């Protein structure tokens, strides 16, 4: 949300406190340590020295793709980029995901960032 826009800011606060962020982080955690996440480069982001990782569950190895489909349904995916410094707390995350709800697929887009003041 935009801090100077009260409606935008309040909406962002509600989004953070809702189940959407919690569900996204749980799905992202399921990818940790799998072939869906690949190290790309070291670079500076938002005032931090980070490592950039690509996230793509559709190009993961067969075992990881089967695991992901079993957990989240056929057709579900995660694609994006995350920048992580030495402390392990993401500095920036850009993520597109497709989730299976019943027999319907739903797309979502997330962008999260922290900055050093």
Whole-number average pLDDT of the chain? 84
Identify the band that residue 10 occupies on the pLDDT scale cut at 50, 70 and 90.
low
Average pLDDT of the segment spanning 51-56: 96
Out of 5-9, 10-14, 28-32, 59-63, least confident range: 10-14
- Taking each helix axis from N to C end, the angle separating 62-72 and 19-31, rounded to the nearest 10 degrees, works out to 150
Task: Name which of 53, 59, 36 is nearest 92 in CA terms.
Answer: 53
Contact 68, 57 (CB under 8 A): yes
Convert the pLDDT of each residue in 76-113 to its tens digit: 899 999 999 999 888 999 999 898 888 888 888 888 88
**pLDDT of residue 1 exceeding 70:** no
Q: How many residues does the chain have?
A: 117
Contacts of 1 (CB under 8 A, 6+ apart): 8, 9, 10, 11, 12, 13, 15
């Amino acid at each position: 949300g935009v801090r100077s826009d009260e409606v935008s800011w309040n909406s962002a606060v509600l989004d953070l406190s809702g189940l959407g962020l919690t569900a996204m982080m749980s799905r992202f955690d399921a990818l940790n340590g799998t072939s869906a996440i690949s190290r790309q480069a070291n670079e500076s982001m938002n005032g931090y020295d980070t490592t950039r990782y690509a996230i793509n569950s559709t190009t993961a190895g067969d075992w990881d793709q089967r695991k992901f489909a079993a957990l989240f349904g056929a057709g579900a995916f995660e694609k994006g980029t995350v920048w992580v410094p030495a402390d392990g707390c993401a500095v920036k995350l850009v993520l597109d995901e497709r989730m299976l709800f019943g027999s319907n697929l739903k797309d979502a887009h997330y962008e999260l960032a922290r900055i050093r003041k």
